[in-house]
Each structure stands twice: as C-alpha cells, then as structure tokens.
Structure 1
Amino acid sequence: MTEFASARVAIIGGGVVGVSALYHLAQAGWKDVILLEKNELTAGSTWHAAGNVPTFSSSWSIMNMQRYSAGLYRGLGEAVGYPMNYHVTGSVRLGHSRERLMEFQRVKGMGRVQGMDLEVLAPEEIRSRYPFLETHDLTGALYDPYDGDIDPAQLTQGLAAGARQAGARIERFCPVTGARWTGSEWVLSTPKGEVRAEYVVNAAGYYAAEVGRLFGRRVPMMVMSHQYLLFDTIPELEVWSREAGHKLPLLRDVDSSYYLRQEKMGFNLGPYENPCRAHWAAPDDPMPDDFSFQLFPDDLERLEWHISDAMARVPLLEKGRLQKVINGPIPYTPDGNPLIGPMPGVPNAFEACVFTFGICQGGGAGKVLAEWVTEGATEWDMWSCDPRRFTGFEDHDYCVAKGKEVYGNEYAIHFPHHAWPEGRGRKLSPVHDRVAALGAQFGPYNGWERALWYAREGDDTSGAAQRVWDREGPWFPAVKAECEAVQGACGILDLPGFSRYRLTGAGAAEWLARQITGKLPAVGRLGLAYFADDKGRIVTEMSVARFAADEFLLITAATAQAHDRAWLERHLAPGLSLTEETDAWSCQILTGPQARAVLEAAATEADLTLPWLSHQTGRIAGREVWLARVSFAGELGWELHSRVADTAAVWDAVAAAGGPLGLKPFGMFALNSLRIEKGYRAWKGDLSTDYTVLQGGLGRFIDWAKPEFRGRAALAAENQAGVRKRFATLVIEAGAYDPPYMATIWHRGEPVGELTSGCFGHRTGKVIGLGMLRADLNLPGQAVEVEIFGELFPARVQEDAPLWDPKNERIRA
C-alpha cells in the first residue's frame, strides 16, 4: 500500500472531541497533525447531541474541564471567524430534598474556587429565574449563570476551521482499517493509502472499541440509547421570550431525572430513564459497520413517567405539540467518565473517547489530550478520566451492567458511604466468605471487594440507609467500635488487591534512586517513596522493601495498578527486570497494642522484636508469610502478606489466636478515620499532580544530597522561591457532617486553601481535615474557617505532627 500521508499525530475520529484535540494540538504548535474520519465530521454522536454546556460537576477535575469548555466556546466564533450559535442562558437545577441542597452547596463552593459564581436559590426565589415553574414541593435550586446550549455541528466546524488555520489537516471519508507499530512509528491502513504517525489518538466515540481492537486494546465501554423530545412553538413562551429578550434558563429536575430546555420557541425534553436500554450489547444485536447520521426507532413508552412529570412541573409544556424524537447512541464507560490519556499497554497511543457529555467536555478534553501528547502530563490532575483507572477485569457484561446503572442514575447524588450494586463480586479475597460471615459490608477497589464496615445485629444495611451526608448512618457507631478495638486491643483488616512489582537487575538501586525523591531503604528495611514528575508534582507513592542490593519489592494501591505499572515501565532502564506479582499474593493488616501478642499466640515463626519499618519472612500455620512492620492505622502492627492459596489458613490461625486477646475485624471506613488522625495521605486525594512534593508537606522525603532525581530542578526552584501553599492538618469545630473533598478553607472572607481529606477521628474525638493552605497562614494555632455544605465552621491549624501518637511511640512499641 502506498503512503498517503505522514504526520506527527494522527487522530482517528471526527466528532467534537477529536476535532478539539486537533485544534489544541495545532494551537500548542504541533502543526504536523492529521485527523482521519470514516465519514463526515460530526457523523457519530456529535450530530444528534442536544448541545447542552453545563459547568456543574461533583468532580473537581471534570468541573475544571467543563468550565474551560464554556469559556473557550464563548470566544471561539470570533477567534476562528466562524458563526457560532451559542446561547449562554444560565440554568436552574431543582432540588426536592435537604440532601440535594447540600450537594448544591458543595458544588457552589467548588465553583467559587474555580472562579464561577453559582447561586443556591430558596424556593420562593426560583420563579424569578424561571416563571413557568411549579415550586410547591421544592427545597431550592442551584442557579448556574454559565450554563447554556450550543449547536454541536457549528462548534465542531468552528474547531475544525481553527485547526486548519493553524496548519492541521482533516481527511474525511477515510476510515482506518488497520494499525501496525514499527518500533518508532504507527502505520495506519486506510482506503486512500497508509498514514504514518509518531503518535495516534483514538477519538472514535461510540466506535472506540472497534478502533481499539486495531491496537490490541479492549476499550471498557458500552453504548446506551438516549432520547430527547422536541416540542413545537408555544405562543405563551414566544411572547415571554420576545418581551424578556432572551431564552429561559435550561431547567434540570435532577431528582426526576430529566432536563428541559427552550428550543427556539418550543421545548427540548431529555430524560435519563430507569429502566433504560443498551444497544449493540448482545450477539443478536451487533454494531453495524457504519451508523453515521442514523438514529434508533422511537421508544417513548419507557419515558412516559418523565414526560408526565415534566408537564406537571412546567404546565406550559403540555401546550406544545411533539414535533420530533431524537433517539441516538451515546457511549458509556463503567463509571460514566470519559477516557482521556495514554492507551494502556500500547506505545505512543492515546485515547480521547467514550464521552457521555462530549459537547460540554469537548473543549477541555482537547486541551487535556494535547497536554498528554505534547508534554507527557496535564495541568490538572485528570485521574477521574485516565484510561488506566480500568485494569482489564471489566469484561463486556460488566461494562453493560455498569453503563446502564450510571445512565439510570445520571443525576443521582454520590454519597460518600454508598456503594453502587452493579458489577460486584468480580474479585474476591481468599477469605471473603469468612469476612462476609462476620457482617462485612463491601465496596469495590479496582474490582476487589473489601469490607467497608461490619454491621452488627439490628443495623440497617439497605442502600437507602447509606445515602446520607451526615454521620447518622448505621456505619458510624460500628466504625467507632472498630476504631476502639484497634486502639485498645487489636484489629484485623482483610486487604486484597495491593499492586506489587519486583524490581531486579544490576543497577536497580541506582535507577530507583533516580526515580524517587528520597533515600532508598537498607536491605531488610522498607519505607515510603514518592515519585515526582519533571515539574516536581506528586505522581505516586509506593512502599519500597529492599531484599538485596539490587532487589526491591514495590507495593502500591490497588487502584494504582495500571497507572504505576505504566510509569515504572515507561522509565525502566535497559537490563532491569520488573515483574508484577499482584495476583499471587493477598494481605491482612494486623494492628493494635496486642498485635505482637496475637502473632506470638499464633506461633508465628519470626523475630517480632525487629523494629518499625523492617520486614522478614516467617511462618503462620505452617505457611510462609512475609511480615512488614508497618501500619496505615498508626498503631503497633504488621502487614501479613501470604500467597493466595495460603491466606485462608493464615487468617484462621490469627483469628483463633487473637480471639481471647480482643481481636476484632475492621473495615476501610475505620482505616480512613485512623489514617487521617495520623496525617497519612491517600493517593489521588491528598497525593495528586495538583500538588508538588513540597506542597504536599513531604519535604522530609526529599534527599537534596542526591545530584539527580526526577523533578529535582523544579523542586529546588520552588524551595528557593518559597512554597505558596503547603499541607496542613486542621481540627474543625464541625457539626454533624464530615467535610467533603475539596471543601474550601476561608480566612477573613477569602478562600485560602482546600481540604483533600476529612473525617471524624474516633481516637481523638475530633473532626480532622487534611489539605492545602496558603503558606503564610500555615502556622500552629492559626484560626481559619472550613466551608461544609455552605456553612462556615471554625478550625485551627495544628502542629506539624500527627494528632494521634505524634512521637510515634505506639507504632514503634
């Protein structure tokens, strides 16, 4: 096949996201880029999209992305000289409950820090924004002045015009039929000839799975059928609009699960119904080779309740004649967030696909994708969208079940103690049955079922009992008892799924020392290691155990499995060996003042006098166990690592020995409370690329004596200039609510920081927040305020030491 084109980057897919990626790459100065579209631009989900552009999100990173999109679109038409039909109407998001209003207050606080003035309305204020509304049963609403709608085709063509003006190339009617990696570039087969590119991007929308197969990649996704209804002109609405000089705000009745938007002088009604329907999800319903500019047949019966509810909420809607139904395919990942970032396991390949809300996220997605390609990292931490958050266990049935669950609960509140039920039981610990018999209530971590808390007789374990913001849920007294057991005697936590990698080879120590900011442990010891990027930002945290001069075991979070493996493999020096051992081992945390006595009673064949941060191999019940003397709970303790086949025997022996000594099981909720009291950070909460190692308060893990490590120059410059904000521990005089992620810290009416973790500490009896605070205020005793669901609570900065066992006397016992 003859060569048709060559480029530095080839993007596959001409919807709004692919074209936005092309535009942003060109704007970044990468002119030699090409987009390949199998049909015409917008032929997939983009052409039939409703075109709503909200900024609302309960995710910090996705709010960033959507906020950027809205700002870009406001000036895009003028910037590229292309007409843009963009209506910034604002939106009214209705609340029917106290819990919903609390969600609104949280998002309002997040928006304020990102520079957006969102407003929570009382019921009597709503009609001033939306006069045709029935408000008798509402608790309030969120008003977003930045919301609106845009013509998806014009948006895409505008981005395409800007990309072409900057030198990018778009090739329509050019499907990619094959892909070959030569070791230095990709060769893509098309009917027009071969396209050679250094990098490729899968931006194929609901065809992303088919494109992924060309690269040996199974994309975790499914396709939903989504309908919206267009109603003809309503005279009363036309009169009001002409007198007001603008359209009605976009209305979302999130508790009834639909949006209602003024479309010309009629309405657009878009429900997210439950039960819903997946398409192309069964062998007798295959995806066609080409579904460009096509729709599914109308299927209005399942929308009947939503239509009736919308007409009751806005009686004016009843006067409109149903003009048209749009029923088209929309892709979903198992968690509803898109895929933006490196294609797992595939060199020089990226994904920017499976967008459920591609219009409002497309602008920001193009920015993020361009940063991934051109800089190898993104401005905002985008783990919420990183393809590596999925690790391969997500088969077709799982993707369909979770996609339908997300769609049917599109507007649901995501409460911190509620675990969604679909797709469960995929990965079970070797002692899952034993843990379940003790009353464990489970939640998934990279598919692994872990005990969140242990229900006692009479506890309400229904899903409804978990869907609350406050500490009145049934888990709270149970978690208190679990923490007290760890504090007073001993607790055991079954913890399957740790990601683990064995590093060996001549020069392994020298290479690893250059990858981490701190020192390597001695042989027989272990410690925490922090990996920074070139800007000094926190990439990940791993436990490093040293077995020999050039032999290490690297242990990281279950959810970090694919992310951390990719980071290590990307930088691995020639001649070194990195072997994953995740599936071969399981783990229990045994911790509390009686932990040593429990191990002695279990006849553990090991030296239990070895100090904190040591490790050794012993035997329990005749089975080999690797004992690491660490405890994320901040008490005397060990991690007991055993091979999967041996884990049940080890658990049984420890449980039998510990019973008379007060041993109790505890779960992840208790561990979170215990670790926050110790100031221990959690990955992708407290530890993320939104912060540098110095900002994260991890200066003690930087070895400045090393002449070289990744991020050293950036951290040295920051240290010289002074750190603008730094990790702080706050004690908060809060009410009945734990502070949510990214709760704002205030001082004299000004935002001065944010919380990255917050929880009630059962050993200290205090509400504790971990977060980032402006450096000049980060002083012991400094008074600040923390915003929790719209209310300000007094807080004080604590000493630069953990609140619990600040001298580590208990953990070293």
Structure 2
Amino acid sequence: MKTHVKALVVGGGAVGTGIAYHLARAGWDTMLLERDELTAGSTWHAAGLLPLFNMGYATGHIHDYSVKFYKSLEAETGLNPGFAVVGNLRMAQSAARMDEYMLYATTAETLGVPFEFLTPAQIAARYPLIRTDDLQGALFHPTDGYINPADVTQAMAKGARQLGCVIERRWQVDGYRWTGAEWIVSVTKMVERGGNLVRSEETAQIVAEHVVTATGNHAQRTAQMLGLKLPAIPVEHQFIVTEPDPALVEWRKTNGEHPVLRDADAKWYVREERGGWILGPYERGAPARFAYGVPDSFRADLFPLDLDRIEAEYMSMLHRLPSSETVGLKDDFNGPICYTPDGNPLVGPAPGLRNMWLAEGFSFGITAAGGTGHYLAQMMTEGEAEIDMAALDPRRFGPWITTEYAARKNEECYDHVYVLHHPDEERPACRPLRTAPAYDRQKARGAQFGCVNGWERPNYFGPVDAPDTFDHDTRSFRRGGWWEHAVAEAQAIRGGVGMIDATAFTKHIVRGPGATAFLDWFTCNKLPKVGRINLTYALTAQGTTRTEYTILRMSENEYYLISAGAWTAYDSDFLRKAAEDRMSDFGYVDIHDVTTQWGVFALAGPKSRDLLAAVIKDSDPATALCNKRFPWLSWRNIELGMCPVRAVRVAYTGELGWELHHPIEMQNYLFDLLMAAGAPLDLKLVGARAQNWLRQEKSYRAFGNELGRDATPLEADLPRFVDLGKDFHGKDAMQATGIRSTCVTLLVDGPKDADPWGREALYLGDTRVGRLTSGGYSVAFGKSIGMGYVRPDLAAPGTQLMVRMQRTLWPAEVVADSPYDPTNARIRQDG
C-alpha cells in the first residue's frame, strides 16, 4: 500500500469513487480507502434513480453533470454502468403541484435540462397502464432514468485506476493528525471473521496532503475523529419489489422500457424491474439511525421492514397502476440513507481544518456522485468550482447544531422529499430554537417567522390571532396569503417608518496590530476612516465574490464587520484562515465572532429620524441626528433611553434609516421603547420579505443571490466598491476574468397573481440570454421586479427581454440601477 499521496479519499461508495476518479483525472496522485468492499454502504441497496428535478442551482448542475458523465463511462472503461435512459414522468394531482413543476421548469431551462409538459390525456395515450382520471398533468424528463449503483461505481473505479488512482479495500481509518503541512492518517487492516469485519493486528500510516471524507453512513464517526459537528445522519428508507406484472410484460412487447414514475402527491416513486415494479415511498415516521455512529457489526445489512408504515403509499401505487393490484411482492429493502437538515449534501472545506474536504450527507448519492466529483475536484485543484457551491458548503451549519437537532430535522427532510416545495416554505421541526429576546413580543404582534441559520426571523407580520406560527395555509407558488401583509409593510417604509429585526446578522470584531493591513488586502474596497463605514467584498482566489461585509472602523486597528446572517460559520472560518495565512505579512490579527452578543433593529423610512429623536439622550437632541453630526455612511455610539446603541446610518431598504446594534440582553427594553415612541408615527413592524422587495428597487445585490462564487464584483456591476488602485486578494484573477455576464435590474409586466421568485430564465426572442437571481413585487412601480444576469450586450437600460413565468414569457425591461430614488436623495435627507 502507498504511504504518501497527494489526495486520500476515504469511502468507497459511489460518491467517494466519483471523487477519486475526478481527482485522478485532474492529475493528482490519488488513493481511495474503503473499510469493506466498494459499494458496501448505502450504494448497494440504492434504487439507482437519477432525478434531474431540482430547484437548487448548484445541485441541479451536479445532477446534470452526473447524467451526462455516466453515459460516457462505457466508452472509456469498457464497463456498462447499467444506465437505462427511460425518462422520468412526474405526475401532479393538484394545480399547486403543477405550479411547482412550472417553477422548477424555469430552473431546468437555465441549466439546459430538456423537459415537456403532458396533459392527462397525453399521459394515458403514451402510458396506458397509468390511471389518469384524477391527474392535473405531468412533467416529463426524456433524458432521465435509472442506473445500476454497483455497476456505475465499479465503472468509475476502473476509470480511476486507469488514471493512476490506487484503490485499497479493507482498510479502516482510525485517526487523523495534521502536522501543519499534511495529514497523517492512521489505518487498520480489516479482516472477515464469522461474517463480521474485525480489526487485525496490521496497521499503517498514510501521509496525505489532502483528505476527502466520503464516509456515508459513517459520517458521525468521521466527525468525532475530526472534532467536528456534522449534521449528516441516516434515515431509514424502504422500497419493495413486485413479481412481474403481466400487463407491463405485455406492454413491453411493443414498447420500450417504462419510464420512472413519480406521484409526488402520493409520496412515492416507481420504476420497472424485470417485468415488475419497484415502489419507493417517502412516508411519515421514518426514523433516523446511527445518530452516534454505525455499529462495527453493521455491514451491507438492512433493517426489518415496516410495511404498516408504508401502507398508504402502497395502496396509492395500486390506485395509480391498477394492473399491479394482483401482483405479489418478491423482495423488500429497508436500509439507511444519509440526510442533512436541508437535504443538500455537505461538500467543501471542513470548518477549522486545512486541506480536509467533506463529501457527506448524500440522500441522492447515485445522482450526485459524478457531479460532486467533478466540482469538488475543481475546488481542490483550481481553488474554486466554476459554479457557486455555497449552497452545499459544510460551513452553512454552525457549531450550535446538536445531534438531536440533526436527527429530527433529517427525519423531517426525508418526510418532505415529496411535500410541495413552495419558495416561501418554512419547515416546523425543532423550532423555535435560536430566538432573540424580542421573539415573544414580535410573535404576539403577528410575526410569522422564517429560520435563518437556526435564528427565528420575522418573514412578515400577519393577523395577530393567526394560530399557525409557520403559516402553512398562506404559502403558494403565486402570491400567497402573506403577500398583502408584505405590501403594507413595504408601503409603510416608503411612506412612514418601519422596524426590521436584523439580529441574525453575522458580526465579527477584527482588531490587532495587523488588522488594518490584513483587511486592506482581504477586501476589495477602500477601508473606511474611523467613525465611518464602507461596503466591501472579500474575493476568492479566482476573483469571484466570497462574501460581503459592511465594515465599521472603530479605531485605528479595530473593526466591526457585519455580514449575512445565514453564513456565520462560513465567514468565521474564511476570516480566521485568511488571517492565519498572512500573519507573517501583516502581523497578529484577533478575530471574534460576536453575533450572539449584539441584537439589531433596523429603522427605515422618512419618519425614522423623528422616531429616534424622541428617545435619544444627547446634549442637543435636536441636532443629534442631522447630517452634519451624523452623516450618511457613518456610525456613532448613542444612547436611546437607558440602552447604549451602536447606531449605523445605513438602510438596506433605500430610505432614510439607521441600524441599531445593541447589547442583546437589553433588546426587550429597546423594543418597548421604540414601539412606544413610534406609536404616534404609525410605526410598523416589517419582515424580511418586504425588505427583499425594497432592496431590489434600489438594485442592492444580496449575497447568495446576485453575489457569489461564480461572479466577480465587476460582473455584479459594482465597480464603485472596487478600488483598483490597491492590491487585494483575487484582484488579478478578477481582472483576468473579464465580464462574462452582467447583473441588471428588471421591471416585469407579469401575471396579475404572481411575481418572479428569482430562478426564472430570461429570453431575447427565442434565445435564452440569462436568468433571474432575485424576484418580487415593487410597491414603488406597482409591478413585479427582479434582478439577474444577462449577456453584457443586453445590460443597457431600456433593453426589452422576456421572463418565463408559469410557462409563459412575460415582458421584462432592463432599467438603470436603483430605479427608485436613483440619486439617493431620500437616504441623504437632512433633518
């Protein structure tokens, strides 16, 4: 066995094998270790489906790459991966499900995934075994199908070997140690005794520059060895195989293989298997397993079947495929499949560790294996993937996540595989958990909460007597029941004053003798002077946007950084690693995550100064908030009643406003003070949805939407925040990249009952020329609004495009940045 490699991949399932293949193809000296046999984990009992349906942009790219890659394996390796391109028919029993498919189809368009919509009559004509009298229609993917999990894994393994990768079986990893330059991995040879795998006396150490863990159901053991908290825990998944169905056998005599069927409203998939059917339900009540590790005795094993748990799904299959009613059952499976709380795998750098890469938590591992290998290999060998992989980044989950939380959320995620995935979806399990002090006060005033990094954050304020905290009944793929409340909130900020709870913001203190030099190199804009603030970006090595910061300069070498609330662990890890890497250049930098120490209320609107003036304690309250003493883009320590506040003159809504950063233990006092002072001014509590609409009227880019690791700040059309007169991380790469596409704002003359969600395709005539990254409604213009990326030649204001919504192209006009108050007169107004 080799004892020194460039990259060591741990785990020989489909995902690990796909990663090893692509690292070897990139030219890295690679070795893969498997504790048992290849495919011995969840891969062996997977149904092998390749669902292209996905509303996530990164995950959609990964699945699309896999499907195309698997079709090329036989020519390269001589091994047939068992890919049956039979198509995938997603049936809909309700109009809402068809709305979901129409929204998904816009995402598919941006990826170039072919599809077609079918009516019930068309379904019946093509596939007469299906009962269609209670269907609304279906979405069909002709390039979809299923594959043999063992065969595709072995094909990738052979391809990896042909490229120089060494694959070693029956070696278990027992420990990792980082030397400061490489990993020393302790391994033990496993031997089979009495049907069990046991450790032998033979041990070894492997030195690897990089390690990738793709340990599947064993992710908790991996996490313990690395000192990490990973929310990747398996959930039971059952499927059953029937005897041959005579009607299917007869149909096959004159037709090709039957397509994969998905009746999402019945919560199952069905595919053909040797003349019979495989039924895979996603039922309620499937339990999480192995929350604290897989027993050594568990190998390619299964759990006892629980047919009572899937009775409803089985009966619905008989309803949908009447010919299956007389067919007996031939086989059954109940095995573990790993999940994460949001259903996306953990792919990318391990938090706090160097050259340790994670590929864990795959609930659709066969579909994702090829694409994960491709894009993770790009991240490792080139520094970044060509697509933004932030949605899969392991650091999207912070260290606050516990095993209990992960197990319960993973069970919910399994149960929600076929639940309607509204864009305004909020799932209830394990909530509330992270709450700011004013949570109960806001809830009593009708707050309907969303969840951001575990924090409860108001999405909007509905009726005070609303019984359901998670507002299931108001959700829609169109304008849901919450829409009118968000409109009223947006209008209140434009015409009066509103208050937004922004406590979830990520906040860091960066200080020390090296802080100024480090941040000057770390970010692309000028650093602010003491007492002032600046908006800036930290870039990747490829010059794309890694994260966005608002920087307050507290003193010569002390800064307060504010960034997106969803990315606290991500930003902390990035900041600390970057500072450590350049300590010899810049000196010592002290970094503290103070997110949970500071609450934030954002006051915005033309009456916001009047409200603050009523409660500020100052030697001259009349002038305390005027432009001379408190100009735009500055900060000051002030006192509001008895509460000390770090006030920041900025507003994400584009109105006169302040962010009020306050000691979190005083939040309830400050909330009550502001509510009382705001009552004469008709102060309105405002949620995140109205704020999202308002920031689009100002063309304010949002991290994770317009800003990400697949576009540079110049492509985001933000040259005013880039100081090309200084040296900064990623500068050369940013300039070399050029302008591949340009971020624009569009006003949309869309349908009367819907707005874009920010994933729709943009067209010029019949040519797809871009996609939206944000969408919503503009109270200022009385129509839909969106932001997105188009070809640079189409970015000029006045360009007439079309946006796809509900299968129809609607007029969309590119407008100048900041269509509302383009001169910022309202933000700068004096008092």
Displacement of 1:4: 6.4
Q: Name the structure 2 match of 1:752.
A: 769
Cα displacement string for residues 331-373 of structure 1 (whole angstroms, at most 9, x for unaligned residues) = 1111111111111122221110111010011111111221222
Displacement of 1:776: 1.6
Q: Name the structure 2 match of 1:223.
A: 234
Displacement of 1:566: 1.7
Displacement of 1:280: 3.4
Query: Are the aligned partners of 1:739 and 1:769 in contact in 2 as well (CA < 8 Å)?
Result: yes
Identity of aligned pairs, percent? Answer: 38
Aligned equivalents of 1:459, 1:333: Cα separation in 2: 30
Q: Name the structure 1 match of 2:802.
A: 785
Q: 2:658 pairs with 638, 642, 647, which one? A: 638
Query: Are the aligned partners of 1:95 and 1:253 in contact in 2 as well (CA < 8 Å)?
Result: yes
Q: 1:106 pairs with 103, 108, 118, which one? A: 103
Displacement of 1:417: 2.5
Q: Name the structure 1 match of 2:456.
A: 449
Matches within 5 A, 1:192-231: 192-231=203-242
Q: 2:784 pairs with 767, 791, 803, which one? A: 767
Give unmatched runs, 5+ long, in structure 2.
189-202
Q: 2:443 pairs with 436, 448, 451, which one? A: 436
Establish whether residue 648 from structure 1 lines up as the match of residue 668 from structure 2. Answer: yes
Aligned equivalents of 2:36, 2:740: Cα separation in 1: 50
Letter in 1 for 2:820: W
CA 1:253–1:522 in structure 2 vs 1: closer, same or farther (change >3 Å)?
Answer: same
Matches within 5 A, 1:655-666: 655-666=675-686
Displacement of 1:654: 1.8
Aligned equivalents of 1:184, 1:457: Cα separation in 2: 58
Q: 2:136 pairs with 116, 133, 139, which one? A: 139
Aligned equivalents of 1:129, 1:147: Cα separation in 2: 17
TM-score (norm 2): 0.94
Aligned equivalents of 2:765, 2:340: Cα separation in 1: 43
Q: Name the structure 2 match of 1:24.
A: 22
SS for the counterpart of 2:549 is strand
TM-score (norm 1): 0.96
Q: 1:316 pairs with 310, 323, 346, which one? A: 323
CA 1:459–1:208 in structure 2 vs 1: closer, same or farther (change >3 Å)?
Answer: closer
Query: Are the aligned partners of 1:92 and 1:129 in contact in 2 as well (CA < 8 Å)?
Result: no
Letter in 2 for 1:710: H
Q: Name the structure 2 match of 1:172.
A: 169
Q: Name the structure 1 match of 2:477.
A: 469
Establish whether residue 621 from structure 1 lines up as the match of residue 619 from structure 2. Answer: no
Cα displacement string for residues 104-151 of structure 1 (whole angstroms, at most 9, x for unaligned residues) = 222223223322221111111112432211100111101101111111
Q: Name the structure 2 match of 1:10.
A: 8
Establish whether residue 580 from structure 1 lines up as the match of residue 593 from structure 2. Answer: yes
Q: Name the structure 2 match of 1:554.
A: 561
Give unmatched runs, 5+ long, in structure 1.
none
Aligned equivalents of 2:678, 2:617: Cα separation in 1: 12
Q: Name the structure 2 match of 1:730.
A: 746
Matches within 5 A, 1:677-716: 677-706=697-726, 708-716=727-735
Matches within 5 A, 1:147-296: 147-191=144-188, 192-244=203-255, 246-281=256-291, 287-296=294-303
Which consecutive segments of 4 or more residues in structure 1 shift more than 6 A?
none
SS for the counterpart of 2:674 is helix
The count of aligned residue pairs is 800
Aligned equivalents of 1:372, 1:578: Cα separation in 2: 26
Cα displacement string for residues 33-79 of structure 1 (whole angstroms, at most 9, x for unaligned residues) = 11111111111100111111121111111111001000010111221
CA 1:4–1:777 in structure 2 vs 1: closer, same or farther (change >3 Å)?
Answer: closer
Aligned equivalents of 1:655, 1:25: Cα separation in 2: 58
Aligned equivalents of 1:623, 1:117: Cα separation in 2: 58
Greater displacement, 247-256 / 346-355: 346-355
Establish whether residue 672 from structure 1 lines up as the match of residue 692 from structure 2. Answer: yes
Q: Name the structure 1 match of 2:608.
A: 595
Greater displacement, 390-399 / 634-643: 390-399
Query: Are the aligned partners of 1:103 and 1:789 in contact in 2 as well (CA < 8 Å)?
Result: no
Query: Are the aligned partners of 2:448 and 2:471 in contact in 1 as well (CA < 8 Å)?
Result: no
Letter in 2 for 1:792: L
Establish whether residue 529 from structure 1 lines up as the match of residue 533 from structure 2. Answer: no
SS for the counterpart of 1:316 is helix
Letter in 1 for 2:567: A
Aligned equivalents of 1:394, 1:762: Cα separation in 2: 38
SS for the counterpart of 1:484 is helix
Query: Are the aligned partners of 2:758 and 2:786 in contact in 1 as well (CA < 8 Å)?
Result: no
Aligned equivalents of 1:704, 1:178: Cα separation in 2: 46
Letter in 2 for 1:219: L
SS for the counterpart of 2:483 is helix
Aligned equivalents of 2:206, 2:161: Cα separation in 1: 18
Displacement of 1:194: 1.1
Q: Name the structure 1 match of 2:200.
A: none
Q: Name the structure 2 match of 1:419.
A: 426
Cα displacement string for residues 559-582 of structure 1 (whole angstroms, at most 9, x for unaligned residues) = 111111122122113112222211
Cα displacement string for residues 650-686 of structure 1 (whole angstroms, at most 9, x for unaligned residues) = 2222222221122121111111111111111111111
Establish whether residue 83 from structure 1 lines up as the match of residue 103 from structure 2. Answer: no
Displacement of 1:239: 2.8
Greater displacement, 655-664 / 505-514: 505-514
Query: Are the aligned partners of 2:758 and 2:787 in contact in 1 as well (CA < 8 Å)?
Result: no
Query: Are the aligned partners of 2:500 and 2:686 in contact in 1 as well (CA < 8 Å)?
Result: yes
SS for the counterpart of 1:534 is coil
Query: Are the aligned partners of 2:217 and 2:294 in contact in 1 as well (CA < 8 Å)?
Result: no
Q: Name the structure 1 match of 2:196.
A: none
Aligned equivalents of 2:9, 2:225: Cα separation in 1: 14
Letter in 1 for 2:206: V
CA 1:507–1:211 in structure 2 vs 1: closer, same or farther (change >3 Å)?
Answer: closer
Displacement of 1:275: 2.7
Aligned equivalents of 2:542, 2:555: Cα separation in 1: 31
Aligned equivalents of 1:399, 1:460: Cα separation in 2: 27
Q: Name the structure 2 match of 1:740.
A: 757
Aligned equivalents of 2:700, 2:467: Cα separation in 1: 31
Aligned equivalents of 1:250, 1:271: Cα separation in 2: 14
Greater displacement, 291-300 / 375-384: 375-384
Aligned equivalents of 2:286, 2:759: Cα separation in 1: 33
Aligned equivalents of 2:16, 2:565: Cα separation in 1: 31
Letter in 2 for 1:548: S
Matches within 5 A, 1:61-100: 61-100=58-97
Letter in 1 for 2:265: D
Q: 2:825 pairs with 804, 809, 813, which one? A: 809
Cα displacement string for residues 675-710 of structure 1 (whole angstroms, at most 9, x for unaligned residues) = 11111111111111222211111111121222x222
SS for the counterpart of 1:384 is helix
Q: 1:342 pairs with 320, 345, 349, which one? A: 349
Greater displacement, 272-281 / 253-262: 272-281
Query: Are the aligned partners of 2:446 and 2:466 in contact in 1 as well (CA < 8 Å)?
Result: no
Q: Name the structure 1 match of 2:118.
A: 121
Aligned equivalents of 1:391, 1:48: Cα separation in 2: 32
Matches within 5 A, 1:563-574: 563-572=570-579, 573-574=582-583
Query: Could you say what the CA RMSD is over the residues aligned between the two structures, in angstroms?
Result: 1.7
Q: Name the structure 2 match of 1:304.
A: 311
Displacement of 1:458: 6.6
